[in-house]
């Protein structure tokens, strides 16, 4: 929670409360939950959080810039479906499977990116809030997934494709490696580029940013395009993991993703939030769910606890800002 150190007066212990609680939780679970502190389980948690985590990193930038993207869950299902359907069609047209998958994958990523850009264009031109735009695209994309797959899983993938979603590299789940790489990339983007600074400025005070000669349109549209593309990447990896393009996957992911960003300290009104905060927020959610499952806690109660986590983390942040103002 500290890469934006320029905006923090100095390092304070209470900037790390969330991290401290996470560590405490891990220690607690190591002693109480059978099998929590095994390598296997740690890798499992990493794999499970990485699919959503990739999207959450992009969502952080969207939220800091003062916007929101509700369509990421549907975008995951759509991306998987599109990749599968395209691969099937291209292979049927005589292309080799690797070539078909490569073309399908790139097309899917480009489509995802352009959905985000389209949302940015509508936001800029007609001043429709992204909440509404992405609510619409969330619904529509879910429909498109059904249309192109005719409602059933499409499975044209060869065995080796599973690596992208379910494989290991040096003993680490491949999606976790992707998650870490994108984490570092986003960290760099938000810290060390003019785009990163513009994101904070636009989200913190759009008018002041505009009058400082910063392009509000470019900044927000780039953030939306990036997130939409990351959701598509996640969708391809999910499809590889379950070896099919399935139109019903990733239902409700947008809420998990947004929760992680909020737990990580971002404010929905824009201007504040950090990439590392989201990373911790995502891990927090993953560890909590994993721990509860190992402890055999009833599924229904798990939801209650997750709800408590979201509210608790936000209250924590709120109390912190309120006491800082005093």
Which spans of this chain sit near other proteins (rule: CB under 8 A)? 5-10, 192-198, 200-201, 204-205, 207-215, 271-272
Rounded to 10°, the helix 275-294/299-325 angle is 150
Strand partners, 168: 173
Smaller CB distance to other proteins: residue 50 or 219?
Answer: 219
Residue 178 C-beta: closest distance to other proteins, Å:
24
How long a stretch of residues is the chain? 326
Residue 270 C-beta: closest distance to other proteins, Å:
9
Smaller CB distance to other proteins: residue 214 or 257?
Answer: 214
CB 153 within 8 A of CB 243: no
Alpha helices in 33-96 (DSSP H): 39-64, 72-92
Smaller CB distance to other proteins: residue 86 or 198?
Answer: 198
CA distance 244 to 253: 18
Torsion of Cα atoms, 270 then 272 then 276 then 282, to 10° = -50
Residue 72 C-beta: closest distance to other proteins, Å:
25
Smaller CB distance to other proteins: residue 53 or 271?
Answer: 271
CA distance 298 to 302: 6
Smaller CB distance to other proteins: residue 169 or 208?
Answer: 208
Number of C-beta neighbours around residue 59 at 10 A: 29
Residue 269 C-beta: closest distance to other proteins, Å:
9
Residue 214 C-beta: closest distance to other proteins, Å:
7
By C-alpha distance, which of 5, 3, 15 is closest to 317?
Answer: 15
CA distance 120 to 28: 44
CB 265 within 8 A of CB 315: no
CB 264 within 8 A of CB 273: yes
Residue 61 C-beta: closest distance to other proteins, Å:
15
Smaller CB distance to other proteins: residue 194 or 323?
Answer: 194
Smaller CB distance to other proteins: residue 7 or 139?
Answer: 7
Residue 190 C-beta: closest distance to other proteins, Å:
11
By C-alpha distance, which of 69, 144, 51, 157 is closest to 113?
Answer: 69
136 contacts: CB under 8 Å, gap ≥ 6: none
């Amino acid at each position: 929670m500290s890469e934006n150190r320029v905006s923090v007066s100095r390092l304070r212990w209470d900037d790390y409360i969330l991290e401290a609680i996470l560590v405490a939780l891990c220690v607690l679970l190591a002693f109480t939950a059978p099998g929590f502190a095994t390598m296997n389980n740690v890798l499992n948690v990493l794999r499970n959080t990485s699919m959503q985590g990739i999207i959450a990193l992009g969502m952080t930038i969207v939220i800091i810039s003062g916007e929101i993207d509700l369509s990421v869950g549907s975008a995951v299902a759509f991306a998987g479906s599109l990749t599968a359907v395209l691969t099937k069609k291209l292979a049927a047209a005589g292309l080799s499977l690797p070539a078909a998958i490569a073309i399908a994958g790139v097309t899917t990523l480009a489509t995802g990116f352009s959905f985000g850009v389209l949302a940015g264009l509508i936001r800029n031109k007609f001043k429709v809030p992204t909440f509404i735009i992405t609510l619409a695209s969330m619904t529509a994309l879910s429909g498109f997934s059904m249309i192109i797959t005719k409602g059933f899983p499409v499975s044209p993938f060869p065995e080796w494709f599973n690596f992208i979603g379910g494989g290991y590299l040096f003993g680490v789940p491949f999606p976790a490696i992707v998650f870490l790489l994108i984490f570092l990339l986003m960290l760099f983007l938000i810290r060390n580029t003019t785009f990163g600074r513009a994101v904070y400025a636009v989200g913190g005070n759009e008018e002041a940013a505009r009058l400082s000669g910063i392009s509000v349109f470019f900044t927000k549209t780039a953030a939306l395009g990036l997130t939409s593309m990351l959701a598509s990447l996640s969708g391809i990896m999910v499809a590889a993991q379950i070896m099919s393009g399935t139109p019903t996957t990733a239902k409700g992911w947008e809420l998990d993703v947004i929760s992680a960003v909020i737990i990580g300290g971002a404010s929905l009104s824009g201007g504040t939030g950090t990439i590392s905060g989201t990373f911790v927020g995502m891990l927090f959610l993953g560890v909590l769910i994993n721990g509860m499952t190992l402890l055999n806690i009833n599924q229904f109660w798990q939801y209650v606890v997750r709800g408590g986590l979201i509210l608790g983390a936000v209250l924590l942040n709120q109390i912190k800002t309120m006491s800082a103002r005093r």
